[in-house]
């Protein structure tokens, strides 16, 4: 099939499929694997490499001398497009869309923005009151008048040519060296090109694998936060964001309400902690651990208020919590609050200390080399 399409070699393929033993053991059921498309090789890797391998030959075929694309300030697609253009010797212009109000200086100039500069890309910031694609089209018309022949790549590299990269990825999955047969493929969905390519590949190769696309902005619990999810601090992994995530996640893990994850997400947004980690840590309390954890909360509560310990049978339901308000309720909720605060503090300062210790050890090991 792919002999009909021109392709540029930009990445390291096929990418590995790895078994995630710890997650699989924790879930006690499904066997979880991951396709390492973060290791495609171009400019620190990412899924856009596959798409660009099929898109850029079309630009060359059309005698283009300027690639124009669009994306958010810290767009991974923009970074990989800039790197691909540098590799093949073509000019690149990126129109950046600012989706975050009052973005910090570090967000506007570091990370992918810095790498775009390293790769020699020109960057233009789209005015907030303009549609980014329309603005890019106006810039392309200006460049045509300057003598350029621009070629436009849509956000995420999601078009019919870009999707070919993930038809090829589907072939790699079906022909994996371990001959593992996967019942489901779960993919993050943004601009939709990766998802569409996998679905097309499934059809072409007549696979029975079910493909599920997930978009965090469409998550029924998180979509209430809207554009707040665009805050870059919610996705960074550093000492402060991780320490605050442990504080948030461990705090709400001890709060006996049915919407712990939503509360944790809201708190993460307020304090700028790592959002995925804040939510994941809430699962410290799960159907297997709830009886022991909440019984411990009750014991702590009785100790604090000096009440006698009553016998009861714990049930993992909101109805049980409501019905228990008049009996064990005061001690139980007080104990939950005490342990929530205690573990939040321990989590925050514990991570801060461990992070500092790991940095010191790393520096010491470097000095001894």
Q: Can you say how many angstroms the Cα of residue 340 is from the centroid of all Cα atoms in its chain?
A: 27
Q: How far apart are CA 167 and CA 153, in angstroms?
A: 19
Q: Catalogue the E-assigned strands of 53-90.
A: 66-72
Q: Please pick, among 75, 191, 207, 278, the residue that the annotation labels catalytic.
A: 75
Pairing of strands 17-19, 33-35: antiparallel
Is the distance from CB of 126 to CB of 95 less than 8 angstroms? yes
DSSP 238-253: SHHHHHHHHHHHHHHH
Active site residue 317: no
The DSSP 8-state label assigned to residue 62 in this structure reads: T
Q: How far apart are CA 173 and CA 180, in angstroms?
A: 9
Pairing of strands 122-126, 150-153: unpaired
The DSSP 8-state label assigned to residue 151 in this structure reads: E
Cα 39 to Cα 15, 45, 207, 214, 314: the distances in Å are: 7, 5, 25, 21, 46
DSSP 245-309: HHHHHHHHHTS--TTHHHHHHHHHHHHT--HHHHHHHGGGS-TTTHHHHHHHHHHHHHHHHTPPP
Q: Residue holding tokens 């096929």?
A: 14
Catalytic site positions: 75
């Amino acid at each position: 099939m792919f002999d009909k399409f021109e392709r540029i070699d930009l990445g390291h393929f096929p990418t590995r499929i790895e078994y995630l033993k710890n997650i699989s053991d924790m879930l006690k059921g499904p066997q979880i694997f991951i396709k390492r498309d973060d290791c495609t090789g171009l400019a620190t890797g990412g899924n856009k490499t596959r798409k660009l391998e099929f898109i850029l030959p079309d630009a060359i075929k059309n005698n283009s001398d300027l690639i124009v694309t669009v994306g958010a300030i810290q767009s991974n697609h923009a970074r990989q497009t800039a790197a691909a253009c540098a590799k093949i010797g073509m000019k690149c212009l990126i129109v950046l869309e600012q989706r975050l109000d009052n973005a910090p200086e570090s967000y506007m100039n570091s990370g992918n923005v810095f790498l775009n500069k390293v790769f020699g890309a020109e960057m233009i910031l789209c005015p907030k009151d303009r549609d980014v694609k329309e603005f890019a089209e106006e810039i392309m018309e200006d460049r045509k008048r300057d003598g350029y022949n621009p070629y436009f790549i849509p956000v995420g590299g999601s078009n019919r040519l870009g999707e070919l990269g993930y038809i090829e990825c589907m072939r790699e999955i079906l022909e994996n060296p371990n001959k593992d047969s996967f019942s489901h493929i779960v993919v993050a969905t943004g601009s939709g090109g990766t998802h569409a390519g996998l679905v097309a590949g499934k059809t072409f190769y007549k696979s029975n694998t079910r493909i599920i696309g997930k978009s965090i902005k469409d998550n029924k619990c998180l979509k209430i936060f809207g554009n707040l999810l665009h805050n870059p601090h919610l996705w960074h992994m550093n000492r402060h964001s991780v320490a605050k995530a442990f504080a948030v996640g461990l705090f709400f893990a001890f709060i006996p309400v049915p919407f712990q994850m939503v509360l944790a997400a809201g708190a993460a947004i307020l304090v700028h902690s790592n959002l995925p980690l804040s939510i994941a840590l809430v699962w410290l309390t799960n159907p297997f651990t709830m009886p022991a954890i909440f019984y411990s909360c009750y014991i702590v509560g009785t100790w604090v208020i000096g009440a006698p310990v009553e016998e009861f049978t714990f049930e993992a339901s909101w109805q049980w919590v409501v019905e228990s308000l008049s009996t064990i309720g005061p001690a139980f909720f007080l104990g939950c609050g005490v342990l929530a605060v205690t573990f939040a503090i321990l989590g925050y300062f514990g991570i801060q200390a461990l992070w500092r210790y790991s940095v010191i050890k790393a520096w010491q090991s470097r000095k001894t080399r």
